[in-house]
């Protein structure tokens, strides 16, 4: 550790100013910082150094690419010849003319909305059910968490089998004399299937997050409330929910981001069909950019998605003041 530490010091001498005095940094006494290098300033510098890898990562792998995406969106690109030609706002105008886009946006909204609501509701319900001691509780927690560790593609492949018209689910239904729908071939059932498989796969994470939050709620609160005669439902809405609201916010963010990036599920299960019914924006961007080779237009679509996410987050941030408890 010491090595890193002294490097830190060495680096500090190159920083803002002080180059005049610190000719030989290594021999400079460690415990006698110059007047400029007050405790607070050295501390701040350490802070900057600590966050540098993360900050640079975000800069190089997120912010610069976003800037490039904006640049690409103003160009047309022949992928075979590598020619880039400036087209100005043409790709943005194409957004308005794209007859598929409204359907894609609708599908994205339904998919993300469905996944987020179901995921949080089910995650919370499971957490409440499993937040007590009884025989087999660990086994149940394990079972509900297990799909999380199954690779998305493997999971989706299996569900692809099960959801075939002559697959396992309809076979099971047939045992009860029910003729199941042709799940992946009709818009509404295909969407339902994609949403549910996504929720089942990922709800385990939310369940555990909620479990952790629930265990953080002091038991005395419930005792007190019970003595005051509060009903279970009242206690849930008045004690549990407010106290775990920070977790709700966190899971909402994680789940939304996850839902908006659900690519493998769509690619393997439905390829966006039937029609465009399950073509969510991620999948559409992939098609445009990497299958149709419309990199400029794909970038434009991606930026539109970014705008949505930003707006949504700002909205959540604003609402947070209303419903997230720790904000006071």
Of residues 205 through 244, those in contact with another protein by CB under 8 A are 205, 208-209, 211-213, 215-216, 218, 221, 224-231, 234-235, 238-239, 242-244
Q: Which residue do the tokens 């966190």 mark? A: 250
Instruction: Considering the complex, state which of residue 23 and residue 213 has its C-beta at the smaller distance from another protein.
Output: 213
Exactly one of 10, 16, 34, 47 binds another protein (CB under 8 A); which one?
Answer: 47
Strands 83-86 and 75-78: antiparallel
Q: How many angstroms from the chain centroid is the CA of residue 7?
A: 36
- State the minimum distance, in angstroms, from the CB of residue 39 to another protein: 10
CA 67/CA 239 separation, integer angstroms:
45
The answer to whether residue 14 forms part of the interface with another protein (CB under 8 A) is no
For the purposes of burial, counting CB atoms within 10 Å of the CB of 321, is it exposed (0-12), middle (13-18) or buried (19 or more)? exposed
- State the minimum distance, in angstroms, from the CB of residue 216 to another protein: 6
The answer to whether residue 114 forms part of the interface with another protein (CB under 8 A) is no
Exactly one of 12, 13, 72, 198 binds another protein (CB under 8 A); which one?
Answer: 72
CB 190 within 8 A of CB 258: no
**Residue numbers 166-185 binding another protein by CB under 8 A:** 166-168, 171-172, 174-175, 182-185
Exactly one of 178, 261, 315, 323 binds another protein (CB under 8 A); which one?
Answer: 261
CB 273 within 8 A of CB 39: no
CA 109/CA 117 separation, integer angstroms:
12
Kindly give, in sequence order, each residue whose CB lies less than 8 Å from that of residue 185, ignoring residues fewer than 6 positions away: 165, 274
CA 268/CA 201 separation, integer angstroms:
15
Exactly one of 19, 44, 109, 315 binds another protein (CB under 8 A); which one?
Answer: 44
Instruction: Considering the complex, state which of residue 23 and residue 136 has its C-beta at the smaller distance from another protein.
Output: 136
Interacting stretch for another protein, rule CB under 8 A, among 10-18, 20-28, 39-47, 112-120?
39-47
The answer to whether residue 15 forms part of the interface with another protein (CB under 8 A) is no
Around Cβ 48, how many Cβ atoms within 10 Å?
Answer: 12
CA 5/CA 8 separation, integer angstroms:
5
Kindly give, in sequence order, each residue whose CB lies less than 8 Å from that of residue 252, ignoring residues fewer than 6 positions away: 116, 120, 316
CA 32/CA 25 separation, integer angstroms:
12
The answer to whether residue 8 forms part of the interface with another protein (CB under 8 A) is yes
Exactly one of 11, 15, 79, 121 binds another protein (CB under 8 A); which one?
Answer: 79
Q: Which two tokens stand for residue 85?
A: 């030609």
**Three-state DSSP state, 203:** helix
Q: What's the residue count for the chain?
A: 328
Around Cβ 305, how many Cβ atoms within 10 Å?
Answer: 19
Instruction: Considering the complex, state which of residue 20 and residue 40 has its C-beta at the smaller distance from another protein.
Output: 40
Instruction: Considering the complex, state which of residue 20 and residue 142 has its C-beta at the smaller distance from another protein.
Output: 142
The answer to whether residue 66 forms part of the interface with another protein (CB under 8 A) is yes
**Residue numbers 89-108 binding another protein by CB under 8 A:** 100
Instruction: Considering the complex, state which of residue 21 and residue 48 has its C-beta at the smaller distance from another protein.
Output: 48
* Nearest by Cα to 260 from 290, 239, 285, 227: 285
CA 255/CA 243 separation, integer angstroms:
20
- State the minimum distance, in angstroms, from the CB of residue 111 to another protein: 14
The answer to whether residue 74 forms part of the interface with another protein (CB under 8 A) is no
Exactly one of 27, 81, 85, 318 binds another protein (CB under 8 A); which one?
Answer: 81
**Residue numbers 284-313 binding another protein by CB under 8 A:** 285-287, 289-293, 295, 298-299, 302-303, 305-306, 309-310, 313
Instruction: Considering the complex, state which of residue 117 and residue 162 has its C-beta at the smaller distance from another protein.
Output: 162
Exactly one of 154, 178, 315, 319 binds another protein (CB under 8 A); which one?
Answer: 154
């Amino acid at each position: 550790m010491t090595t890193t530490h002294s490097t830190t010091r060495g680096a500090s001498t190159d920083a803002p100013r002080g180059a005049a005095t610190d000719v030989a940094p290594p021999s400079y006494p460690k415990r006698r910082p110059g007047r400029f290098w007050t405790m607070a300033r050295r501390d701040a510098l350490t802070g900057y150094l600590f966050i540098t890898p993360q900050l640079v990562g975000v800069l190089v792998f997120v912010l610069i690419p976003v800037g490039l995406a904006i640049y690409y969106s103003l160009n047309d690109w022949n992928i075979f010849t590598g020619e880039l030609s400036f087209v100005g706002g043409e790709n943005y105008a194409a957004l308005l003319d794209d007859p598929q886009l409204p359907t894609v946006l609708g599908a994205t909204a339904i998919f993300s909305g469905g996944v987020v609501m179901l995921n949080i509701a089910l995650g919370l319900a499971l957490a409440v059910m499993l937040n007590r001691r009884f025989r087999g509780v660990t086994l149940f927690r394990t079972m509900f968490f297990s799909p999380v560790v199954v690779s998305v593609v493997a999971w989706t492949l299996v569900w692809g089998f099960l959801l075939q018209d002559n697959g396992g689910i309809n076979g099971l239904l047939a045992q009860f004399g029910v003729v199941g729908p042709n799940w992946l071939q009709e818009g509404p059932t295909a969407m339902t299937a994609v949403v549910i498989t996504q929720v089942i796969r990922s709800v385990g994470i939310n369940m555990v997050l909620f479990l952790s939050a629930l265990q953080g709620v002091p038991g005395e609160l419930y005792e007190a409330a019970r003595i005051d005669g509060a009903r279970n439902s009242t206690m849930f809405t008045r004690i549990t929910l407010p106290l775990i609201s920070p977790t709700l916010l966190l899971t909402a963010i994680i789940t939304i981001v996850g839902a908006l990036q659900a690519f493998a599920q769509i690619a393997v299960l439905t390829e966006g069909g039937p029609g465009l019914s399950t073509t969510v924006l991620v999948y559409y961007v992939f098609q445009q950019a990497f299958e149709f080779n419309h990199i400029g237009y794909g970038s434009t679509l991606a930026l539109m998605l970014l705008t949505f996410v930003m707006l949504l987050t700002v909205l959540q941030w604003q609402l947070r003041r209303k419903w997230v408890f720790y904000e006071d």
